[in-house]
Homo-oligomer: A and B are copies of this chain.
Amino acid sequence: MMQHQNPIFIPGPTNTPDVLKAAMNISNFDHRAPDFADHYMPLLSDLKKVFKTETGQILLFSATGTGGWEGAISNTLCPSDKVLIARYGMFSQRWIDLCQRFGLDVEVVDCEWGTGAPIEEFGRRLCADTQGHIKAVLVTHNETATAVKSDVHGVRKVMDTANHEALLMVDAVSSLASMEFRMDDWGVDIAITGAQKGFMLNTGLAIVGVSPKAMQATKTATLPRCFFDFNDMANANAIGSYPYTPPVQLFNGLRASVSLLLNEGMNNVYARHHRIAEGVRASVVAWGLDLCAQTPDLYSDTVTAIMVPQEKDANLITQHAYKAYGVSFGGGLGQMAGKLFRIGHLGAMTDVMALSGIATAEMVMVDLGYNIKLGSGVAAAQQVYQKGYDD
């Protein structure tokens, strides 16, 4: 019971600052009132600063990131259209599955889990696609299941090299507002995230950035859509309105969240996430364990996936942590089930909170017979988190 007071260490939903909980705890009001637009339109505008886009627009759907994936596809593509995507974790796999259900011709590049988007292979296939059959390239920016960050900018570069016209769609659910993301600079056409990750809110918003080129594609796209229709939303937004009943509590929370982020400064937000992640990774080294991510350039700053020794069952870690210490870690998903556990450290995380997660993981592993020295991971992280003193 008291254990519910502990932070959660899952890669979303995240720990919500009190000020954002308060912002979401408002009464329903009339979304057709004349002053609704006075709050809504500046919010949409400020969100562009978080997405780092000036030419794109931001659409807010009452759904989750999965709904954002669906909207990205259904608004821009036609049945049987070819899309290029790599599978390197559970969430890229799920997007593939969604595309297949919508009748797309999904060209899957299978990669080892622990690696990221295969830039060179993408480049080769795009260059080979001289007829332009590939209508979209889909990239999972931060594969939450393996804690691997992909090089979205790199994908854009090979698309440009191939002079390819495909849309670039990015699942930025567990990266945006936590790790560097530059929609315009990276030439991203559709960027998708949710409220419950970097924005630190309750679940319930698919937040989608859409480039002018992607909006143009909606004119010819024939996949059916209605709830996630980009044009309904964009047209309503243009007059400060919304096509159906909006989740105003989440909008108000998002308003406060965006202000919090912009006040901290996006670069500071990224730096904080990087510092905390570095501390967690230092712990893993101290424990003598391996990350799932194969090389440092792939390390995610929002979640860390830690391989357990072959003879161990990682599921016992999440179970024991929850039962004995009241702490939630992420488990292994799909082919990684039992092989790794994950420490989420995005959103309203502090060094101090991270240390309690690391300390707990240590206790759990020692309880389970791992050959780990209590305090070792914490000490390694503390060295990263120390602030020094020169007042």
Contact = CB atoms under 8 A, between A and B. Distances in A.
A389 B368 contact: yes
User: Copy number in this complex?
Assistant: 4
Contact of A34 (B21, B98, B322): B322
A297 B226 CA distance: 33
Given A101-B225, A202-B28, A322-B33, A12 B245 contact: yes
A153 B36 CA distance: 39
Given A13-B245, A102-B226, A227-B67, A360 B355 contact: yes
Contacts of A92: none
Contacts of A380: 375
Given A62-B63, A226-B66, A322-B30, A203 B246 contact: yes
A216 to B, nearest CB: 19
A245 B202 CA distance: 10
A250 B204 contact: yes
A70 to B, nearest CB: 5
B196 A28 contact: yes
Nearest to A35: B322
Interface stretch (A48-56, A109-117, A346-354): A346-354
A8 B34 contact: no
Contact of A202 (B5, B249, B366): B249
A21 B32 contact: no
Interface in A90-108: 97-98, 101-103
Interface in A345-380: 348-353, 355-356, 359-360, 362-363, 366-369, 373-376, 378-380
B33 A17 contact: no
B379 A374 contact: yes
A223 B224 contact: yes
A313 B144 CA distance: 45
Interface of A: 1-8, 10, 12-18, 21-22, 24-34, 62-67, 69-70, 74, 97-98, 101-103, 194, 196, 202-204, 223-229, 243-250, 260, 263-264, 272, 316, 319-320, 322-328, 330-331, 348-353, 355-356, 359-360, 362-363, 366-369, 373-376, 378-380, 382-383, 385-389, 391
Given A74-B224, A375-B380, 11 more contacts: A1-B263, A2-B264, A10-B32, A13-B28, A24-B249, A29-B328, A62-B63, A63-B227, A70-B226, A367-B387, A375-B379
20 contacts: A2-B349, A21-B25, A21-B27, A28-B202, A28-B203, A32-B331, A64-B244, A65-B244, A66-B227, A69-B226, A97-B226, A202-B248, A203-B246, A227-B228, A320-B391, A324-B389, A352-B356, A374-B382, A375-B376, A376-B379
